[in-house]
Each structure stands twice: as structure tokens, then as C-alpha cells.
Amino acid sequence: KVSEAFNHVGLLAVEMFQTENDDILVNEVAPRPHNSGHQTIEASYTSQFEQHIRAILNLPLGRTDSKVGGVMVNLVGAEGFTGNVVYQNIETIMQMDGVTPHIYGKKETRPFRKMGHVTIVNENLNEARRVAEEVKKSIKVISE
């Protein structure tokens, strides 16, 4: 209904809330690929980026199901750090199976600024979640 209301073509990310009365409220829409779906790059047959291009070019849409279980961890600037970015322990997470960091190329970090994300894939979604917790404990976005 949201997409139809905007007469939208392409990917539309919709943030919704369910109320205690089971009503669905639309909070925010983004007429583009959205960071909440970045795990589709590694985990899905067709990533959200490819699907968006297919849609706006009127090409056949791709499969949207997952190839493997996928979990995404956002990389945000640590509290108390501002300046030239350092990805502390990135080498550690890159040695973990199924872990792919995506660094957005921003030169400076500041507290809570989104600097990238890490996708974790595994045939077993619970194992992907376990590795994601390890990733969160390991990598820190700090400054020099």
C-alpha cells in the first residue's frame, strides 16, 4: 500500500511498528536500498542493490530468498573518539569464516557515526549469530 501510494518503482524500504492493538504504523520510508538490508550482498540470491536496478530498468526481478543465513553488524564510531578513523582488530575478524567487512571510506570517525558494516554468513543461522557476537566484541571503530 505504501509503494502504491507513492506510485513507486524500485526498492522501497519501509520501517513499521506494531502497536499493542496489532495496528501497523509506517514510521519511515526510503526509496532506495537501505542499510537494514545490506546483508543481502552476501546472503541472498539477488542483493537489494541488484534488485533495485532490475526494477527501475524494468528487467525481470531476481530471487529474493537467502542462499545462507546472514547477520549484519553495523560499524559505528566508538564513544569518545573523533578524528582519523582506525578499525581496531579488523585483521582479527577477517580471519573468521564467513565474515565480510564493508568499509564505507569515510576518513573521520565520531561517536556513533556509521562507518561500515560486517556481514556474517553461515549455513546455520544460529552459528552466524554466534560469530556476529564475536565480531561485535572484537572490532572497534576508534581514531588515531
Domains and CATH numbers, the chain: 1-57 (no CATH), 69-143 (3.30.470.20)
Residues 6+ apart with CB under 8 A from 121: 39, 42, 43, 67, 68, 69, 70, 71, 98, 100, 128
pLDDT at 141 over 90: yes
- Average pLDDT, rounded, for the chain: 93
Confidence class for position 74, pLDDT limits 50, 70, 90: very high
Residue 58: alpha-carbon gap to chain centroid: 25
List phi, psi (to 5°) of 110.
Answer: -150, 165
Say whether pLDDT at 93 is over 90.
yes
Give the tens place of pLDDT for each residue, 15-67: 889 999 999 998 888 888 887 788 899 999 999 999 999 999 999 999 999 99
**Could you identify the residue written with the cell 572490532?**
139
**CA distance linking residue 32 with residue 135, whole number of Å:** 27
Q: Which residues pair with 74 in a beta bridge?
A: 117
d(CA 43, CA 127): 14
pLDDT bucket at 14, cuts 50 / 70 / 90: confident
| pTM, to two decimals | 0.80
Cell numbers 564493508 label which residue?
Answer: 102
Residue 65 exposed, middle or buried by CB count within 10 Å (0-12, 13-18, 19+):
exposed
Cβ atoms of 101 and 90 closer than 8 Å: yes
pLDDT confidence tier of residue 3, bands split at 50, 70 and 90: confident
